[in-house]
A and B are shown apart, each in its own frame.
Chain A
């Protein structure tokens, strides 16, 4: 599978601070080990050989309960330096591909046969209430992803096959923000 991150919104809001994690989308998804693929690949052994490919993703974004910005106003009141909101959305496109390994060395971009494609996205925008117990502070606690219909072939757009990937090639910005 190939997967590209199309959209990204990751913001963590404290009472007086906004922290944003951004990437230069569209960006290849995966890691340094299996590039340009998203995950492990299956190799055909013979003519007529069949392989089942499993594709899964579990986007994650962490936040601390306490504002890490040293210049943020300290308590009291108790709401100072508290985590208040988390905005977390990503949009993806995934492709099921077969690759001609002989071609991949000299015609990298033309070596894929695009078999299927689909878009999917997730969004979890959480309001945090620090007066509640851990485990009950975030509302909503979950939100199901949206998975589009599976299309035949390549569909619209092209995968990003470049080396950078979001877990490493991202930017984090910390700024003071109006009080909540």
Chain B
């Protein structure tokens, strides 16, 4: 939720660049030309600073990522706001994190329809625009596969050997969004877990998206093996910080298993998690933050030691 805050905690598991590509018939990369900025609000006080502004310009040197190139000139405008003010509730966090469009800077423009005169969204392409273009092109190529029977293996393959963390995260979101079965997903996740090259950020993301998917009953009758995966990952957490993040996600799953309606069916999942928590506790060497989380869990789950 965006209340005086960022977005819903699970937004990163539901949307990303692939969502915007899927909603756009035309995607174009290029460089900003004719940059102009109009400040729309300033701070109060002795020395005001810009808080919100609208920038406009043309997209030069355009390259089509999806669809054909629109008829030039490729004119755009974009609203931006200072980091110092609360976030725009209409802009997803992953877009806000990209920062501001710079004069002459690289951008990617997303047109909802091929006939649109102006893009609905323009994003800065960051420090490595070539990498972003390659990522968006990869995502668009897989999305263009019409048959789900062929698209699913393409996403799985991209998840297994995708070049970037962002690409793998997009693949995971797409697969879970498509309703992929746990038995289909699990071998690739096991491969990623066992691969020492898998970074901490991707491991944390994988844990979180699986936890949210369990809480949303995305895996149907295969919830048990998915929770087993989470428990194994929690027990293998290499440090206290990782264990804490995993534990916060496990608390979410415990809230799901603890709901009154239909609780009996979820009790086996709860027992798996409690067993893992107790195993971890028996191993000792935890941080004060982990201990506090255990104390909170014991209030509702006395079987946790």
* Min distance, Cβ A23 to any Cβ of chain B, angstroms: 8
Whether B163 sits at the interface, judged by CB under 8 Å, is no
Chain A contact patch, size range: 35 or more
How many residues from B make CB contacts under 8 Å with A?
29
List residues of chain B with CB within 8 A of the CB of A172: 43-44, 51, 84-85
Known A-B contacts A63-B83, A170-B85; A29 and B47 likewise in contact (beta carbons under 8 Å): no
For A60, list chain B residues within 8 Å (CB). Answer: 5-6, 86-87
Confirm or deny: A154 has a beta carbon within 8 angstroms of a beta carbon on chain B: no
The main secondary structure of chain A at its interface with chain B is loop
Verify if B88 is at the interface (C-beta below 8 Å from A): yes
Report yes or no: B44 in contact with A171, Cβ–Cβ below 8 A.
yes
A20–B91 Cα distance when bound, in Å, is: 23
Q: How far is the CA of A174 from the CA of B88 in the complex (A)?
A: 20
Among B9, B43, B86, B88, the residue within 8 A (CB) of A173 is B43
Task: Report how far A101 CA is from B2 CA in the complex, Å.
Answer: 25
Report Cα–Cα, A108/B296, bound state, in Å: 38
Convert A130-145 into 0s and 1s, putting 1 for each residue whose CB lies closer than 8 angstroms to a CB of B: 0000000000001010
In chain A between 139 and 157, which residues have their CB closer than 8 angstroms to a CB of chain B?
142, 144
Q: With A and B bound together, what is the CA distance between A125 and B89 in angstroms?
A: 24
Closest residue on chain A to residue B5 by CB atoms: A59
Q: Which of B5, B6, B84, B289 contacts A12 (CB 8 A)?
A: B84
A29 touching B43 in the complex, CB below 8 Å, given contacts A60-B87, A68-B82: no
Q: What are the interface flags for A22-65 relative to B under an 8 Å C-beta threshold, 1 for contact and 0 otherwise?
A: 01000001111100001100000000001010001111111110
Closest residue of chain A to B11 (Cβ to Cβ) is A58
| A38 to B5 Cα, complex, angstroms | 12
The interface residues of chain B lying within 8 Å CB-to-CB of A166 are: 3-4, 86
Min distance, Cβ B1 to any Cβ of chain A, angstroms? 5
In the complex the two chains form, what is the Cα distance from A168 to B90 in whole Å? Answer: 11
Q: Cα distance A144–B248 when bound, in Å?
A: 12
B49 within 8 A of A: yes
Residues of chain B within 8 A (CB-CB) of A142 are 289
Q: Please name the residue on chain A nearest to B89 by beta carbon.
A: A31
Verify B2–A31 contact, CB threshold 8 A: yes
**Beta-carbon contact of B85 and A173 below 8 Å:** no
* Contact assessment for A58 and B84 in the assembled complex, using a CB-CB cutoff below 8 Å: no
Say yes or no for A71: interface residue by CB 8 A criterion: yes
B interface list, Cβ under 8 A from A: 1-9, 43-49, 51, 82-89, 259, 261, 289, 292
